[in-house]
Structure 1
Amino acid sequence: MTLVFMVMFVSAHASIALHDQTFQKDYPHSGPSLVCDQCPPGTYLRAPCSSSQKSDCAKCPDGSFTELWNSITKCLRCSMCDVNQVVTKECSSSNNCQCECKEGYFFNKKYDACVKHKECMPGYGVNVTGTPHRDTQCALCQPGFYSDGFSAKDLCVAHRKCEDDGFRVVLKGREWHDTLCASCQDLKTRDGAEYLHEILPTFFIKLQQTMGIKKMRRFGMKLSQLGGKTTARETIMKLSKSGLNDFINSWVQKAGNDQVRKLPEILGKIGSPQEGEKLQCKLEYIEQQSKLCDGLNE
């Protein structure tokens, strides 16, 4: 019984396969319908069968293809890769061109297009690396690790261990900045604001992520008034958020120690007192480390 069933099963599949590779051609005015062979992948039907000859199949011209058994009279045109895609398999007579998102991009079903991988912001590292088929996944840096920039590839990095280099901790590391180290000699000769200045670029990157454009403009005005060449109010008020980011970053790079010390007060005046307190606490911690060095011989 089982053997009979198997024979019937195989025969049925053979019949289906044969049926899939044939088609019926009707000749309403010249005779009965005929069962013609379909053309194999990579070819097309140049002429159907007749009572005296089989189907005439021809190879697809360059730039066209057929992937299945068919009875079409013209091959399909090869596809072109979309923007931000690369070819993973060239088109041939028997297969279409295959594409995927290029390096740094993934296919977003919502937009039906390849879009850039998300960049993890300061304080976050890559948890799952992006591929052409999925976006980057970020995770908050664990205690003892940090990330101080935007990246779609970088992991969180371990904080520096000052004692390994024979230095003292000037400022403990956080998830968004490294531990700052120095010798007592440096602490005695350098202004504490110089150490604080080292983490300001990343501090303001994080701050700008939460600031509205109106507050950023007020902040830009206050910075402009801190000595040096004052930028016209009209100029600052016309800046976009991107332009304000550039203005603030440029100010940070050029800021002197006295200007850095006034930042906590300015942040309080524009409505960000908590951020100002954070900077003030860091500055006081740095200066406390300097005092602890008094009397020590290094």
Structure 2
Amino acid sequence: MVMLVSADASMPLHAQTFKKDDPYSGRSLVCDRCPPGMYLRAPCSATQKSDCVKCPNGAYTEFWNHISKCLRCSMCAENQVVKQECSPSNNCECECKEDYYFNKKYEACIKHKECPPGYGANITGTPQQDTECVQCQPGFYSEVSSAKATCVAQSNCQAGGLRVVLKGQSWHDTLCASCDDLKTRDGAEYLHEILPTFFIQLHQTMGITKMRRLAMRLPQEGGKKPLRGTVMKLSRRGLNNFMNSWDQGAGKDQVRKLPEVLRNIGAFNMGDKLERKLKYIDQQSKLCEGLVEVAQNELK
């Protein structure tokens, strides 16, 4: 196919033509370039115009040109998806796949960072921008590690005619219960509701060796201990699954021993934090029974 190229008024004339010496006459010829989407199969001669041919599938030219072969369409890199398919006049356009963004420093698509418990997504990540996290304000919380979850409002116990069992913090909701519930349930049972998030905090603040030591010392039913060789090989993901499994099956006596176990491995602050929460829950139960009088905001 011979294409007789017409001028594009929006392009300077010199951008649509190129000079070539005629091998027969030695004269300098002004040949037409090929438009985007085509390549030059044969240059002009004294009697013929430039022979331009459409680019085949998988190839393209984006500008006026006189190249002898179309450019090969690009392939999307790791963690990228096609935003716009390649066409004869445009290269393939790629963007980072869902949950990833393009990091200019590394020139690669990186997974959006996750906001830890106590923080929510202030700006949700896009293919061009990472997630931006913000600490939850008083009265709000986030109990998950997530690149998308935002802080949500704490439960209002009074609105439901319930008592505050445990004050909410940025990383867990306010726990509510009726006095009837407090009289029939042990305080350790309420602690189960925040332990999964508490374990996430441990993973973020403790080294993996100490986490393995904790897993080895978690109080087990009947005093049995897990196989040391198995626990000491667990990854962080494996440790998280191990601890969540323990939480689901642990009885009240096992949960009440957890603060002391934490202190025994050197995690004094975390052990004390958990014990304060347990004491607060116990005191709310006693208040319902009318045995003691304490201010509800004495312990956090």
Question: So what's the TM-score if we normalise by structure 1?
Answer: 0.89
**Residue 268 (structure 1) aligns with:** 263
Which secondary structure state, in structure 1, belongs to the residue aligned with residue 226 of structure 2? coil
Is the counterpart of residue 86 in structure 1 residue 66 in structure 2?
no
**Residue 187 (structure 1) aligns with:** 182
Aligned residues: 283
Which secondary structure state, in structure 1, belongs to the residue aligned with residue 68 of structure 2? coil
Q: Letter of the aligned partner of 2:158 in structure 1? A: E
Equivalences for residues 30-41 of structure 1 within 5 A: 30-41=25-36
Which secondary structure state, in structure 2, belongs to the residue aligned with residue 262 of structure 1? helix
**Residue 133 (structure 1) aligns with:** 128
**Residue 168 (structure 1) aligns with:** 163
Equivalences for residues 5-154 of structure 1 within 5 A: 17-27=12-22, 30-154=25-149
Q: Within 1, Cα distance between the matches of 2:242 and 2:131?
A: 30
Distance 1:62 1:237, change over 3 A: closer
Is the counterpart of residue 158 in structure 1 residue 153 in structure 2?
yes
Distance 1:178 1:59, change over 3 A: same
**Further displaced range: 151-160 or 205-214:** 205-214
Percent of paired sites with the same residue: 70
- Write the deviation string for residues 63-116 of structure 1: whole angstroms up to 9, x where unpaired: 221111100111112222223222222221111111111221111223322221
Which secondary structure state, in structure 2, belongs to the residue aligned with residue 150 of structure 1? coil
Q: Cα offset for 1:295?
A: 4.6
Q: Cα offset for 1:214?
A: 2.1
Gaps of 5+ in 1: 1-13
Gaps of 5+ in 2: 1-8, 292-300
Q: Within 2, Cα distance between the matches of 1:49 and 1:210?
A: 72
1:237 aligns with one of 232, 235, 239: 232
**Residue 248 (structure 2) aligns with:** 253
Is the counterpart of residue 292 in structure 1 residue 287 in structure 2?
yes
Given that 1:224 and 1:231 are in contact with CA atoms closer than 8 Å, whether structure 2 keeps it comes out as no
Q: Which runs of 4+ in 1 moved over 4 A?
A: none
Q: Letter of the aligned partner of 2:88 in structure 1? A: S
Q: Cα offset for 1:27?
A: 3.4
Question: So what's the TM-score if we normalise by structure 2?
Answer: 0.89
Given that 2:219 and 2:257 are in contact with CA atoms closer than 8 Å, whether structure 1 keeps it comes out as no
Q: Within 1, Cα distance between the matches of 2:219 and 2:284?
A: 31
Distance 1:16 1:255, change over 3 A: closer
* Aligned alpha-carbon RMSD (Å): 2.0
